[in-house]
Structure 1
Protein backbone atom coordinates (compact mmCIF):
# COMPACT_ATOMS: atom_id res chain seq x y z
CA UNK A 1 0.00 0.00 0.00
CA UNK A 2 1.93 2.99 -1.28
CA UNK A 3 -0.83 5.29 -2.46
CA UNK A 4 -3.14 6.30 0.40
CA UNK A 5 -6.32 7.99 -0.80
CA UNK A 6 -8.97 7.20 1.83
CA UNK A 7 -8.62 6.86 5.59
CA UNK A 8 -11.55 5.71 7.71
CA UNK A 9 -11.73 7.11 11.26
CA UNK A 10 -14.57 5.65 13.35
CA UNK A 11 -15.25 7.65 16.52
CA UNK A 12 -17.59 5.84 18.92
CA UNK A 13 -17.20 8.60 21.53
CA UNK A 14 -14.93 11.51 22.37
CA UNK A 15 -12.58 9.32 24.45
CA UNK A 16 -9.07 9.57 22.98
CA UNK A 17 -10.73 11.07 19.88
CA UNK A 18 -8.70 14.29 19.74
CA UNK A 19 -5.40 12.42 19.41
CA UNK A 20 -6.92 10.25 16.67
CA UNK A 21 -8.23 13.30 14.79
CA UNK A 22 -4.82 14.97 14.93
CA UNK A 23 -3.09 11.83 13.68
CA UNK A 24 -5.70 11.46 10.92
CA UNK A 25 -5.27 15.11 9.96
CA UNK A 26 -1.50 14.59 9.73
CA UNK A 27 -2.01 11.52 7.54
CA UNK A 28 -4.48 13.31 5.26
CA UNK A 29 -2.03 16.16 4.75
CA UNK A 30 0.91 13.84 4.23
CA UNK A 31 -0.81 11.73 1.56
CA UNK A 32 -3.22 14.30 0.12
CA UNK A 33 -5.95 11.90 1.22
CA UNK A 34 -9.55 11.96 2.40
CA UNK A 35 -10.24 11.43 6.10
CA UNK A 36 -13.71 9.89 6.50
CA UNK A 37 -14.86 10.40 10.09
CA UNK A 38 -17.67 8.01 11.00
CA UNK A 39 -19.89 7.75 14.06
CA UNK A 40 -22.10 4.69 14.33
CA UNK A 41 -25.18 5.31 16.41
CA UNK A 42 -26.74 2.18 17.95
CA UNK A 43 -30.27 1.34 16.90
CA UNK A 44 -32.39 0.95 20.04
CA UNK A 45 -34.83 -1.26 18.13
CA UNK A 46 -32.24 -4.04 18.27
CA UNK A 47 -33.25 -4.49 21.92
CA UNK A 48 -36.76 -5.61 20.95
CA UNK A 49 -35.84 -9.34 21.00
CA UNK A 50 -35.11 -8.96 24.72
CA UNK A 51 -38.87 -9.08 25.24
CA UNK A 52 -38.55 -12.80 24.65
CA UNK A 53 -35.77 -13.12 27.21
CA UNK A 54 -37.91 -12.57 30.29
CA UNK A 55 -38.24 -8.77 30.07
CA UNK A 56 -41.63 -7.14 29.84
CA UNK A 57 -42.59 -4.85 27.00
CA UNK A 58 -42.44 -1.86 29.33
CA UNK A 59 -38.92 -2.76 30.46
CA UNK A 60 -37.76 -3.10 26.85
CA UNK A 61 -39.34 0.27 26.01
CA UNK A 62 -37.41 1.87 28.88
CA UNK A 63 -34.17 0.29 27.67
CA UNK A 64 -34.82 1.49 24.13
CA UNK A 65 -35.48 5.06 25.33
CA UNK A 66 -32.35 5.01 27.47
CA UNK A 67 -30.25 3.68 24.57
CA UNK A 68 -31.69 6.30 22.24
CA UNK A 69 -30.87 9.06 24.73
CA UNK A 70 -27.30 7.82 25.20
CA UNK A 71 -26.88 7.41 21.45
CA UNK A 72 -28.05 10.96 20.82
CA UNK A 73 -25.69 12.28 23.48
CA UNK A 74 -22.65 10.50 22.05
CA UNK A 75 -23.52 11.56 18.50
CA UNK A 76 -23.87 15.20 19.58
CA UNK A 77 -20.58 15.15 21.48
CA UNK A 78 -18.64 13.55 18.62
CA UNK A 79 -20.12 15.94 16.04
CA UNK A 80 -19.34 18.95 18.24
CA UNK A 81 -15.73 17.75 18.60
CA UNK A 82 -15.51 17.37 14.80
CA UNK A 83 -16.85 20.90 14.26
CA UNK A 84 -14.34 22.37 16.70
CA UNK A 85 -11.52 20.45 15.05
CA UNK A 86 -12.24 21.57 11.48
CA UNK A 87 -12.72 25.16 12.66
CA UNK A 88 -9.21 25.03 14.16
CA UNK A 89 -7.72 23.46 10.99
CA UNK A 90 -9.02 25.46 8.02
CA UNK A 91 -6.33 24.06 5.71
CA UNK A 92 -8.25 20.79 5.35
CA UNK A 93 -11.37 21.03 3.19
CA UNK A 94 -14.68 19.72 4.55
CA UNK A 95 -16.60 17.73 1.90
CA UNK A 96 -19.76 15.58 1.91
CA UNK A 97 -19.19 11.88 2.79
CA UNK A 98 -19.65 10.90 -0.88
CA UNK A 99 -17.50 13.70 -2.25
CA UNK A 100 -16.50 15.06 -4.67
CA UNK A 101 -12.89 14.64 -3.55
CA UNK A 102 -10.16 16.88 -5.01
CA UNK A 103 -7.11 14.89 -6.06
CA UNK A 104 -3.95 15.26 -3.97
CA UNK A 105 -5.61 17.67 -1.54
CA UNK A 106 -6.47 16.79 2.07
CA UNK A 107 -10.20 16.57 2.73
CA UNK A 108 -12.38 15.51 5.65
CA UNK A 109 -16.00 14.46 6.05
CA UNK A 110 -18.36 13.48 8.85
CA UNK A 111 -21.05 10.85 8.65
CA UNK A 112 -23.46 9.22 11.12
CA UNK A 113 -24.82 5.76 10.40
CA UNK A 114 -27.22 3.67 12.47
CA UNK A 115 -26.72 0.02 13.32
CA UNK A 116 -24.18 -2.31 14.90
CA UNK A 117 -20.70 -0.76 14.98
CA UNK A 118 -19.03 -4.18 14.74
CA UNK A 119 -20.78 -4.72 11.40
CA UNK A 120 -20.84 -1.25 9.84
CA UNK A 121 -17.24 -0.23 10.49
CA UNK A 122 -15.60 -3.34 8.95
CA UNK A 123 -17.88 -3.00 5.93
CA UNK A 124 -16.82 0.63 5.46
CA UNK A 125 -13.18 -0.33 6.10
CA UNK A 126 -13.15 -2.72 3.13
CA UNK A 127 -13.21 0.29 0.80
CA UNK A 128 -10.67 2.33 2.77
CA UNK A 129 -6.91 2.09 2.47
CA UNK A 130 -6.67 1.69 6.23
CA UNK A 131 -8.74 2.35 9.32
CA UNK A 132 -7.48 4.66 12.03
CA UNK A 133 -8.93 4.07 15.49
CA UNK A 134 -8.53 5.91 18.80
CA UNK A 135 -6.46 4.11 21.39
CA UNK A 136 -8.72 1.43 22.87
CA UNK A 137 -7.97 1.94 26.57
CA UNK A 138 -10.36 4.86 26.85
CA UNK A 139 -11.78 3.73 30.17
CA UNK A 140 -15.19 4.75 28.81
CA UNK A 141 -18.26 2.57 28.38
CA UNK A 142 -17.93 3.15 24.64
CA UNK A 143 -14.55 1.81 23.53
CA UNK A 144 -12.92 1.41 20.14
CA UNK A 145 -11.53 -1.98 21.16
CA UNK A 146 -14.45 -3.96 19.71
CA UNK A 147 -14.23 -1.88 16.54
CA UNK A 148 -10.49 -2.45 16.31
CA UNK A 149 -10.86 -6.22 16.47
CA UNK A 150 -13.82 -6.25 14.10
CA UNK A 151 -11.75 -4.38 11.49
CA UNK A 152 -8.70 -6.59 12.07
CA UNK A 153 -10.64 -9.81 11.61
CA UNK A 154 -13.31 -8.80 9.11
CA UNK A 155 -12.10 -6.07 6.75
CA UNK A 156 -9.00 -7.39 5.00
CA UNK A 157 -7.34 -4.00 5.57
CA UNK A 158 -4.79 -2.71 8.11
CA UNK A 159 -5.71 -0.92 11.32
CA UNK A 160 -3.69 2.02 12.59
CA UNK A 161 -4.04 2.71 16.32
CA UNK A 162 -3.54 6.32 17.32
CA UNK A 163 -1.54 7.07 20.48
CA UNK A 164 -3.26 8.10 23.69
CA UNK A 165 -1.98 11.66 23.60
CA UNK A 166 -2.04 14.07 20.64
CA UNK A 167 1.05 13.33 18.50
CA UNK A 168 3.52 16.01 17.51
CA UNK A 169 4.71 16.21 13.92
CA UNK A 170 4.85 13.59 11.18
CA UNK A 171 6.01 10.00 11.39
CA UNK A 172 9.73 9.93 10.62
CA UNK A 173 11.10 6.76 12.24
CA UNK A 174 9.36 3.45 11.46
CA UNK A 175 9.90 0.06 13.07
CA UNK A 176 8.65 -3.10 11.38
CA UNK A 177 8.27 -6.16 13.61
CA UNK A 178 9.04 -9.34 11.71
CA UNK A 179 8.54 -13.01 12.56
CA UNK A 180 8.11 -14.54 9.11
CA UNK A 181 4.31 -14.96 9.24
CA UNK A 182 1.62 -13.97 6.77
CA UNK A 183 0.33 -11.46 9.33
CA UNK A 184 3.75 -9.78 9.49
CA UNK A 185 3.89 -9.73 5.69
CA UNK A 186 0.53 -7.95 5.52
CA UNK A 187 1.73 -5.36 8.03
CA UNK A 188 4.95 -4.88 6.04
CA UNK A 189 2.94 -4.06 2.93
CA UNK A 190 0.80 -1.61 4.87
CA UNK A 191 3.87 0.12 6.28
CA UNK A 192 5.34 0.91 2.85
CA UNK A 193 3.36 4.17 2.63
CA UNK A 194 5.21 5.52 5.66
CA UNK A 195 8.55 3.77 5.13
CA UNK A 196 8.94 5.38 1.70
CA UNK A 197 9.13 8.88 3.21
CA UNK A 198 10.57 8.04 6.64
CA UNK A 199 13.94 9.33 7.78
CA UNK A 200 14.87 5.91 9.14
CA UNK A 201 13.42 2.37 9.00
CA UNK A 202 14.36 -0.60 11.17
CA UNK A 203 13.26 -4.24 10.95
CA UNK A 204 13.01 -5.79 14.42
CA UNK A 205 13.10 -9.52 15.04
CA UNK A 206 13.44 -11.85 18.00
CA UNK A 207 14.75 -15.41 17.90
CA UNK A 208 12.12 -16.49 20.44
CA UNK A 209 9.30 -15.29 18.16
CA UNK A 210 10.55 -16.16 14.69
CA UNK A 211 8.45 -18.62 12.67
CA UNK A 212 9.28 -20.49 9.50
CA UNK A 213 9.48 -18.06 6.63
CA UNK A 214 11.62 -15.21 5.29
CA UNK A 215 14.21 -13.72 7.62
CA UNK A 216 14.58 -10.12 8.77
CA UNK A 217 17.48 -9.67 6.33
CA UNK A 218 15.18 -10.85 3.54
CA UNK A 219 12.81 -8.04 4.56
CA UNK A 220 15.65 -5.51 4.37
CA UNK A 221 16.40 -6.75 0.85
CA UNK A 222 12.71 -6.52 -0.10
CA UNK A 223 12.51 -2.94 1.16
CA UNK A 224 15.61 -2.06 -0.89
CA UNK A 225 13.75 -3.09 -4.06
CA UNK A 226 11.20 -0.41 -3.12
CA UNK A 227 13.96 2.16 -2.70
CA UNK A 228 13.80 2.02 1.10
CA UNK A 229 17.00 1.80 3.11
CA UNK A 230 16.57 -0.14 6.35
CA UNK A 231 18.61 -2.06 8.88
CA UNK A 232 17.64 -5.07 10.98
CA UNK A 233 18.19 -5.58 14.68
CA UNK A 234 17.52 -8.62 16.81
CA UNK A 235 16.08 -7.74 20.20
CA UNK A 236 15.89 -9.94 23.30
CA UNK A 237 12.77 -10.52 25.38
CA UNK A 238 12.55 -8.45 28.56
CA UNK A 239 11.61 -10.46 31.63
CA UNK A 240 10.90 -13.35 29.21
CA UNK A 241 8.29 -11.18 27.49
CA UNK A 242 8.69 -10.60 23.74
CA UNK A 243 6.16 -7.73 23.85
CA UNK A 244 8.25 -5.90 26.42
CA UNK A 245 11.36 -6.51 24.36
CA UNK A 246 9.67 -5.13 21.25
CA UNK A 247 8.55 -2.04 23.15
CA UNK A 248 12.09 -1.46 24.43
CA UNK A 249 13.55 -1.90 20.93
CA UNK A 250 11.14 0.71 19.54
CA UNK A 251 12.14 3.15 22.29
CA UNK A 252 15.84 2.54 21.58
CA UNK A 253 15.18 3.50 17.95
CA UNK A 254 13.05 6.50 19.00
CA UNK A 255 10.33 5.19 16.71
CA UNK A 256 7.20 7.16 15.79
CA UNK A 257 5.41 4.10 14.35
CA UNK A 258 5.47 0.34 14.79
CA UNK A 259 4.07 -1.98 12.10
CA UNK A 260 3.34 -5.55 13.15
CA UNK A 261 1.22 -8.58 12.36
CA UNK A 262 -1.65 -9.18 14.78
CA UNK A 263 -2.61 -12.42 16.48
CA UNK A 264 -0.20 -14.89 14.95
CA UNK A 265 -1.57 -17.04 17.77
CA UNK A 266 -5.33 -17.19 18.19
CA UNK A 267 -6.99 -14.26 19.91
CA UNK A 268 -8.37 -16.59 22.61
CA UNK A 269 -4.89 -17.88 23.41
CA UNK A 270 -3.55 -14.33 23.64
CA UNK A 271 -6.41 -13.27 25.93
CA UNK A 272 -5.72 -16.19 28.27
CA UNK A 273 -1.93 -16.41 28.15
CA UNK A 274 -0.98 -12.96 26.93
CA UNK A 275 0.99 -12.27 23.79
CA UNK A 276 2.83 -9.67 21.75
CA UNK A 277 -0.38 -8.30 20.20
CA UNK A 278 -2.12 -7.96 23.54
CA UNK A 279 0.92 -6.39 25.21
CA UNK A 280 1.31 -3.85 22.40
CA UNK A 281 -2.39 -2.90 22.49
CA UNK A 282 -2.19 -2.31 26.24
CA UNK A 283 1.17 -0.54 26.48
CA UNK A 284 2.20 1.11 23.20
CA UNK A 285 2.51 4.90 23.38
CA UNK A 286 3.31 5.40 19.68
CA UNK A 287 1.26 4.96 16.52
CA UNK A 288 0.84 1.23 15.74
CA UNK A 289 -0.16 -0.37 12.44
CA UNK A 290 -1.57 -3.87 12.80
CA UNK A 291 -2.68 -6.29 10.13
CA UNK A 292 -3.87 -9.89 9.80
Structure 2
Protein backbone atom coordinates (compact mmCIF):
# COMPACT_ATOMS: atom_id res chain seq x y z
CA UNK A 1 0.00 0.00 0.00
CA UNK A 2 2.08 2.91 -1.24
CA UNK A 3 -0.83 5.27 -1.94
CA UNK A 4 -3.31 6.42 0.70
CA UNK A 5 -6.49 8.21 -0.33
CA UNK A 6 -8.97 7.50 2.48
CA UNK A 7 -8.39 7.20 6.20
CA UNK A 8 -11.24 6.20 8.54
CA UNK A 9 -11.11 7.57 12.09
CA UNK A 10 -13.87 6.17 14.33
CA UNK A 11 -14.31 8.20 17.50
CA UNK A 12 -16.58 6.49 20.02
CA UNK A 13 -15.72 9.07 22.71
CA UNK A 14 -13.28 11.88 23.44
CA UNK A 15 -10.92 9.55 25.31
CA UNK A 16 -7.47 9.98 23.71
CA UNK A 17 -9.31 11.77 20.89
CA UNK A 18 -6.99 14.76 20.58
CA UNK A 19 -3.98 12.51 19.91
CA UNK A 20 -5.93 10.55 17.28
CA UNK A 21 -7.10 13.75 15.57
CA UNK A 22 -3.55 15.12 15.56
CA UNK A 23 -2.21 11.95 13.97
CA UNK A 24 -5.14 11.79 11.53
CA UNK A 25 -4.63 15.37 10.33
CA UNK A 26 -0.90 14.70 9.95
CA UNK A 27 -1.65 11.62 7.84
CA UNK A 28 -4.17 13.50 5.69
CA UNK A 29 -1.63 16.22 4.95
CA UNK A 30 1.23 13.82 4.35
CA UNK A 31 -0.62 11.55 1.94
CA UNK A 32 -2.98 14.13 0.44
CA UNK A 33 -5.83 11.96 1.70
CA UNK A 34 -9.40 12.28 2.92
CA UNK A 35 -9.85 11.82 6.67
CA UNK A 36 -13.33 10.43 7.36
CA UNK A 37 -14.22 10.88 11.04
CA UNK A 38 -17.14 8.71 12.12
CA UNK A 39 -19.06 8.65 15.39
CA UNK A 40 -21.65 5.92 15.90
CA UNK A 41 -24.47 6.70 18.30
CA UNK A 42 -25.99 3.71 20.03
CA UNK A 43 -29.75 3.46 19.87
CA UNK A 44 -31.39 3.15 23.28
CA UNK A 45 -33.97 0.80 21.79
CA UNK A 46 -31.22 -1.76 21.23
CA UNK A 47 -31.06 -2.19 25.00
CA UNK A 48 -34.51 -3.78 25.23
CA UNK A 49 -33.61 -7.22 23.78
CA UNK A 50 -30.57 -7.35 26.10
CA UNK A 51 -32.42 -6.45 29.26
CA UNK A 52 -33.33 -10.06 30.03
CA UNK A 53 -36.17 -11.51 31.97
CA UNK A 54 -37.24 -10.29 35.37
CA UNK A 55 -37.24 -6.58 34.51
CA UNK A 56 -40.43 -4.60 34.48
CA UNK A 57 -41.44 -2.42 31.56
CA UNK A 58 -40.60 0.66 33.63
CA UNK A 59 -37.11 -0.64 34.36
CA UNK A 60 -36.48 -1.35 30.67
CA UNK A 61 -37.71 2.14 29.80
CA UNK A 62 -35.33 3.62 32.36
CA UNK A 63 -32.41 1.64 30.91
CA UNK A 64 -33.30 2.88 27.43
CA UNK A 65 -33.48 6.51 28.61
CA UNK A 66 -30.15 6.16 30.37
CA UNK A 67 -28.51 4.67 27.28
CA UNK A 68 -29.94 7.42 25.08
CA UNK A 69 -28.69 10.11 27.47
CA UNK A 70 -25.20 8.61 27.50
CA UNK A 71 -25.21 8.31 23.70
CA UNK A 72 -26.26 11.95 23.35
CA UNK A 73 -23.52 13.09 25.73
CA UNK A 74 -20.79 11.20 23.85
CA UNK A 75 -22.00 12.56 20.49
CA UNK A 76 -22.03 16.14 21.82
CA UNK A 77 -18.55 15.84 23.35
CA UNK A 78 -17.02 14.26 20.24
CA UNK A 79 -18.54 16.91 17.98
CA UNK A 80 -17.27 19.76 20.17
CA UNK A 81 -13.76 18.26 20.22
CA UNK A 82 -13.81 17.96 16.43
CA UNK A 83 -15.07 21.54 15.98
CA UNK A 84 -12.24 22.91 18.14
CA UNK A 85 -9.66 20.88 16.28
CA UNK A 86 -11.03 21.79 12.84
CA UNK A 87 -11.02 25.50 13.75
CA UNK A 88 -7.35 25.19 14.69
CA UNK A 89 -6.52 23.44 11.40
CA UNK A 90 -8.36 25.41 8.68
CA UNK A 91 -5.89 24.31 5.98
CA UNK A 92 -7.69 20.94 5.76
CA UNK A 93 -11.16 21.73 4.33
CA UNK A 94 -14.28 20.24 5.87
CA UNK A 95 -16.51 18.49 3.34
CA UNK A 96 -19.39 16.02 3.42
CA UNK A 97 -18.31 12.40 3.21
CA UNK A 98 -20.10 12.03 -0.14
CA UNK A 99 -18.46 15.15 -1.63
CA UNK A 100 -14.86 14.14 -0.92
CA UNK A 101 -14.40 12.53 -4.35
CA UNK A 102 -14.71 15.79 -6.26
CA UNK A 103 -12.50 17.99 -4.10
CA UNK A 104 -8.74 18.40 -3.83
CA UNK A 105 -6.95 16.52 -1.10
CA UNK A 106 -6.37 16.70 1.80
CA UNK A 107 -9.86 17.03 3.27
CA UNK A 108 -11.85 15.95 6.30
CA UNK A 109 -15.46 14.95 6.97
CA UNK A 110 -17.39 14.37 10.19
CA UNK A 111 -20.35 11.97 10.20
CA UNK A 112 -22.67 10.70 12.93
CA UNK A 113 -24.60 7.47 12.32
CA UNK A 114 -26.94 5.48 14.52
CA UNK A 115 -26.58 1.76 14.98
CA UNK A 116 -24.29 -0.95 16.29
CA UNK A 117 -20.70 0.26 16.32
CA UNK A 118 -19.18 -3.22 15.92
CA UNK A 119 -21.11 -3.62 12.64
CA UNK A 120 -20.95 -0.09 11.17
CA UNK A 121 -17.26 0.65 11.74
CA UNK A 122 -15.85 -2.52 10.08
CA UNK A 123 -18.21 -2.02 7.12
CA UNK A 124 -16.85 1.49 6.52
CA UNK A 125 -13.29 0.30 7.17
CA UNK A 126 -13.49 -2.15 4.24
CA UNK A 127 -13.48 0.78 1.82
CA UNK A 128 -10.72 2.72 3.59
CA UNK A 129 -7.00 2.34 3.05
CA UNK A 130 -6.57 1.97 6.78
CA UNK A 131 -8.47 2.73 9.96
CA UNK A 132 -6.91 4.98 12.58
CA UNK A 133 -8.24 4.35 16.08
CA UNK A 134 -7.68 6.33 19.29
CA UNK A 135 -5.58 4.50 21.82
CA UNK A 136 -8.13 2.30 23.61
CA UNK A 137 -6.63 2.82 27.06
CA UNK A 138 -9.59 4.53 28.71
CA UNK A 139 -9.56 3.14 32.21
CA UNK A 140 -10.42 -0.40 31.21
CA UNK A 141 -8.31 -3.27 29.92
CA UNK A 142 -6.85 -2.23 26.58
CA UNK A 143 -7.04 -5.67 24.98
CA UNK A 144 -10.85 -5.62 25.29
CA UNK A 145 -11.32 -2.58 23.02
CA UNK A 146 -14.37 -3.29 20.88
CA UNK A 147 -13.67 -0.80 18.10
CA UNK A 148 -10.07 -1.81 17.51
CA UNK A 149 -10.81 -5.52 17.52
CA UNK A 150 -13.95 -5.20 15.40
CA UNK A 151 -11.92 -3.52 12.65
CA UNK A 152 -8.96 -5.84 13.07
CA UNK A 153 -11.03 -9.01 12.78
CA UNK A 154 -13.82 -7.94 10.44
CA UNK A 155 -12.56 -5.39 7.90
CA UNK A 156 -9.67 -7.00 6.03
CA UNK A 157 -7.78 -3.71 6.28
CA UNK A 158 -4.92 -2.49 8.51
CA UNK A 159 -5.58 -0.80 11.83
CA UNK A 160 -3.35 2.04 13.04
CA UNK A 161 -3.48 2.73 16.77
CA UNK A 162 -2.68 6.33 17.71
CA UNK A 163 -0.54 7.01 20.78
CA UNK A 164 -2.07 8.23 24.02
CA UNK A 165 -0.63 11.74 23.77
CA UNK A 166 -0.65 14.05 20.72
CA UNK A 167 2.40 13.17 18.60
CA UNK A 168 4.89 15.79 17.44
CA UNK A 169 5.99 15.80 13.81
CA UNK A 170 5.69 13.24 11.03
CA UNK A 171 6.60 9.57 11.08
CA UNK A 172 10.26 9.34 10.06
CA UNK A 173 11.54 6.10 11.60
CA UNK A 174 9.68 2.85 10.94
CA UNK A 175 10.09 -0.55 12.58
CA UNK A 176 8.60 -3.67 10.99
CA UNK A 177 8.18 -6.69 13.28
CA UNK A 178 8.69 -9.86 11.25
CA UNK A 179 8.02 -13.49 12.15
CA UNK A 180 7.27 -15.06 8.78
CA UNK A 181 3.49 -15.29 9.23
CA UNK A 182 0.68 -14.14 6.94
CA UNK A 183 -0.22 -11.57 9.59
CA UNK A 184 3.27 -10.01 9.53
CA UNK A 185 3.19 -10.07 5.72
CA UNK A 186 -0.06 -8.06 5.75
CA UNK A 187 1.50 -5.56 8.18
CA UNK A 188 4.60 -5.26 5.98
CA UNK A 189 2.44 -4.43 2.97
CA UNK A 190 0.42 -1.94 5.01
CA UNK A 191 3.58 -0.18 6.19
CA UNK A 192 4.92 0.51 2.68
CA UNK A 193 3.21 3.93 2.55
CA UNK A 194 5.29 5.09 5.52
CA UNK A 195 8.45 3.11 4.80
CA UNK A 196 8.68 4.58 1.27
CA UNK A 197 9.08 8.08 2.73
CA UNK A 198 10.84 7.27 6.01
CA UNK A 199 14.36 8.41 6.77
CA UNK A 200 15.16 5.02 8.35
CA UNK A 201 13.50 1.57 8.30
CA UNK A 202 14.40 -1.42 10.45
CA UNK A 203 13.14 -5.01 10.34
CA UNK A 204 12.97 -6.52 13.83
CA UNK A 205 13.02 -10.28 14.35
CA UNK A 206 13.47 -12.63 17.28
CA UNK A 207 14.16 -16.36 17.40
CA UNK A 208 11.39 -16.83 19.99
CA UNK A 209 8.96 -14.90 17.75
CA UNK A 210 9.75 -16.53 14.39
CA UNK A 211 7.29 -18.93 12.77
CA UNK A 212 7.64 -20.89 9.56
CA UNK A 213 8.08 -18.65 6.56
CA UNK A 214 10.53 -16.21 4.98
CA UNK A 215 13.25 -14.71 7.14
CA UNK A 216 14.32 -11.12 7.78
CA UNK A 217 16.87 -11.21 4.95
CA UNK A 218 14.04 -11.97 2.51
CA UNK A 219 12.11 -8.97 3.84
CA UNK A 220 15.06 -6.68 3.14
CA UNK A 221 15.19 -7.98 -0.44
CA UNK A 222 11.44 -7.38 -0.83
CA UNK A 223 11.73 -3.81 0.48
CA UNK A 224 14.65 -3.16 -1.84
CA UNK A 225 12.44 -4.05 -4.81
CA UNK A 226 10.18 -1.19 -3.66
CA UNK A 227 13.15 1.15 -3.50
CA UNK A 228 13.22 1.06 0.32
CA UNK A 229 16.58 0.66 2.05
CA UNK A 230 16.37 -1.04 5.44
CA UNK A 231 18.46 -2.96 7.94
CA UNK A 232 17.52 -5.84 10.21
CA UNK A 233 18.18 -6.42 13.89
CA UNK A 234 17.52 -9.50 15.99
CA UNK A 235 16.15 -8.43 19.35
CA UNK A 236 16.12 -10.51 22.56
CA UNK A 237 13.10 -10.96 24.81
CA UNK A 238 13.17 -8.81 27.93
CA UNK A 239 12.33 -10.68 31.14
CA UNK A 240 11.44 -13.59 28.81
CA UNK A 241 8.71 -11.43 27.21
CA UNK A 242 8.93 -11.00 23.41
CA UNK A 243 6.51 -8.06 23.39
CA UNK A 244 8.58 -6.21 25.97
CA UNK A 245 11.72 -6.91 23.93
CA UNK A 246 10.03 -5.69 20.75
CA UNK A 247 9.05 -2.35 22.27
CA UNK A 248 12.52 -1.96 23.76
CA UNK A 249 14.02 -2.48 20.28
CA UNK A 250 11.63 0.16 18.88
CA UNK A 251 12.73 2.56 21.62
CA UNK A 252 16.40 1.93 20.86
CA UNK A 253 15.72 2.80 17.20
CA UNK A 254 13.69 5.87 18.24
CA UNK A 255 10.86 4.56 16.05
CA UNK A 256 7.76 6.65 15.32
CA UNK A 257 5.80 3.69 13.90
CA UNK A 258 5.76 -0.05 14.58
CA UNK A 259 4.11 -2.33 12.00
CA UNK A 260 3.29 -5.86 13.17
CA UNK A 261 1.00 -8.78 12.56
CA UNK A 262 -1.70 -9.29 15.18
CA UNK A 263 -2.91 -12.47 16.86
CA UNK A 264 -0.83 -15.10 15.10
CA UNK A 265 -2.11 -17.18 18.00
CA UNK A 266 -5.82 -17.09 18.82
CA UNK A 267 -7.13 -14.04 20.62
CA UNK A 268 -8.49 -16.26 23.42
CA UNK A 269 -5.06 -17.78 24.03
CA UNK A 270 -3.47 -14.33 24.16
CA UNK A 271 -6.13 -13.03 26.55
CA UNK A 272 -5.51 -15.97 28.91
CA UNK A 273 -1.76 -16.48 28.59
CA UNK A 274 -0.64 -13.12 27.29
CA UNK A 275 1.15 -12.57 24.00
CA UNK A 276 3.03 -10.12 21.85
CA UNK A 277 -0.12 -8.46 20.48
CA UNK A 278 -1.64 -8.00 23.90
CA UNK A 279 1.57 -6.62 25.40
CA UNK A 280 2.00 -4.08 22.60
CA UNK A 281 -1.64 -2.95 22.84
CA UNK A 282 -1.29 -2.35 26.55
CA UNK A 283 2.17 -0.78 26.68
CA UNK A 284 3.01 0.91 23.34
CA UNK A 285 3.65 4.66 23.45
CA UNK A 286 4.18 5.01 19.70
CA UNK A 287 1.91 4.70 16.67
CA UNK A 288 1.27 1.02 15.89
CA UNK A 289 0.01 -0.50 12.64
CA UNK A 290 -1.55 -3.96 13.02
CA UNK A 291 -2.85 -6.42 10.43
CA UNK A 292 -4.08 -9.98 10.50
TM-score bracket relative to the smaller structure: over 0.9
Aligned: 1:73 with 2:53 = no
Aligned: 1:110 with 2:107 = no
* Structure 1 Cα separation of the partners of residues 171 and 144 of structure 2: 23
Aligned: 1:233 with 2:240 = no
Give the RMSD, CA atoms, in angstroms: 1.6
Report deviation, 1:157.
0.2
Report deviation, 1:90.
0.6
Aligned: 1:123 with 2:127 = no
TM-score of the superposition, structure 2-length normalised? 0.97
More deviation, 41-50/170-179? 41-50
Cα distance 1:121–1:143, how it changes in 2: closer, same or farther (>3 A)? farther
Partner of 2:197: 197
Cα distance 1:136–1:105, how it changes in 2: closer, same or farther (>3 A)? same
**Could you give the per-residue CA deviations for residues 16-38 of structure 1, whole angstroms, max 9, x where no partner exists?**
00000000000000000000000
* Structure 2 Cα separation of the partners of residues 169 and 289 of structure 1: 17
Partner of 2:13: 13
Report deviation, 1:98.
1.1
Cα distance 1:220–1:147, how it changes in 2: closer, same or farther (>3 A)? same
Partner of 2:248: 248
Partner of 1:55: 55
Partner of 2:41: 41
* Structure 2 Cα separation of the partners of residues 143 and 267 of structure 1: 9
Partner of 1:165: 165
**Could you give the per-residue CA deviations for residues 59-101 of structure 1, whole angstroms, max 9, x where no partner exists?**
1111111111111110000001111100000110100011133
Partner of 1:153: 153
The alignment of Structure 1 onto Structure 2 pairs a total of residues equal to 292
Partner of 1:258: 258
Cα distance 1:103–1:183, how it changes in 2: closer, same or farther (>3 A)? farther
Report deviation, 1:42.
0.3
Aligned partner of residue 188 in structure 1, secondary structure: helix
Task: Point out where structure 2 has 5 or more consecutive residues left out of the alignment.
Answer: none
Report deviation, 1:53.
2.0
* Structure 2 Cα separation of the partners of residues 141 and 258 of structure 1: 21
Aligned: 1:284 with 2:284 = yes
Partner of 1:268: 268
Report deviation, 1:143.
10
Q: Is the 8 A contact 1:15 1:138 kept in 2?
A: yes
* Structure 2 Cα separation of the partners of residues 102 and 21 of structure 1: 23
* Structure 2 Cα separation of the partners of residues 191 and 290 of structure 1: 9
Aligned partner of residue 20 in structure 1, secondary structure: helix
Report deviation, 1:102.
5.0
